[in-house]
Amino acid sequence: MLPLAGPSVADDTLIQVLDTGCIDWSAGTVRARGVAAPATLDDGESPDSPSDIIDSARRMAQANLMGTASAIPINAVSRVADRMAQSTDFRDGLRTLARNASLSHQEYLSDGTVEIELTMNLTGGFSQFVLPEEIRQVDSVVTMTATEPDADKPSMPATGSDGSPHTGLILDATGIGARPSLVPVVVDESGDVVYGPAFVSREFAVSRGMSGFATTLAAARRDKRVGDHPLVVKAIRTRSTGATDLVVSSADGARLRSSVVHLNFLKACRVSIVIDPEAAP
């Protein structure tokens, strides 16, 4: 049997295993398997051709890919399955994406059974199709200021310990029951949004996803999307709207909102979220 988790899965990879397949949040992929065996023949019946068996296995893999993708949370209140239920066009579009999924593995067993694994990226065409329309193209970043004097100045330096500018954001959301989604939202303790659809450019959200995911800080630091000098912020709890929305301290929220450096890497989706591995059973 093909291992859905892949031939070698790092311990710090966030993978959600379902009956129909798996969502690899760290790699940004959905994988599903299809199996087909030659039919048992009665006298006079013609055997299935190898291509018929392969086609049958592929159709099963496509159906399982659809089932797995339907379980993906878009945000705290909506899943892909909800969009599928609301729109026939959306369901048909997702079916087309599943049909165009890449063949990642194919195996022939001694009894003629064929096993196929298909892989669909969560970025690119899938993201363009699934991400909410509220995520728009952002051409420039303007510093957001508060009403207090000097509130436009960062409350803490926008640089790493060696003086280099921060190149990305790592949100440590371990220990608070956080869960992954395509559109994570981060707010401060007052409920003001620090990171969400309005902060990102659709170009980057489509090409790399709004966030990467890992299960350890070490893995998040290795993620090229956050660069060499990421800012690490601890999420203090999940939001009441759902476990995919995170709350950071007011001080960290002010730091992120007040610096053009920070707003630029948020716009470019240079964000990685660290989540406990059991969040994706």
The pLDDT value recorded for residue 82 is 96
**Quick one: which of 115, 105, 98, 86 has its CA closest to 30?**
98
- Domain positions in the chain: 15-130, 168-279
Q: Are the C-beta atoms of 231 and 168 separated by less than 8 Å?
A: yes
pLDDT range class, residue 259, cuts 50, 70, 90: confident
- Which CATH number is correct for 15-130, 3.30.70, 3.30.460, 3.30.1450, 3.30.110? 3.30.110
The pLDDT value recorded for residue 258 is 82
For the chain, the average pLDDT equals 85
- Rounded to 10 deg, the angle between the 88-99 and 50-70 helix axes is 130
The pLDDT value recorded for residue 280 is 58
- The arithmetic mean of pLDDT across residues 145-155, rounded, is 33
**Quick one: which of 197, 54, 182 has its CA closest to 121?**
182
pLDDT range class, residue 11, cuts 50, 70, 90: low
The pLDDT value recorded for residue 159 is 53
The pLDDT value recorded for residue 173 is 97
| Predicted TM-score (pTM) of this structure | 0.84
Is 151 a residue whose pLDDT tops 60? no
* Local structure of 93: helix, strand or coil: helix
The pLDDT value recorded for residue 261 is 84
**Quick one: which of 59, 82, 86, 87 has its CA closest to 72?**
82
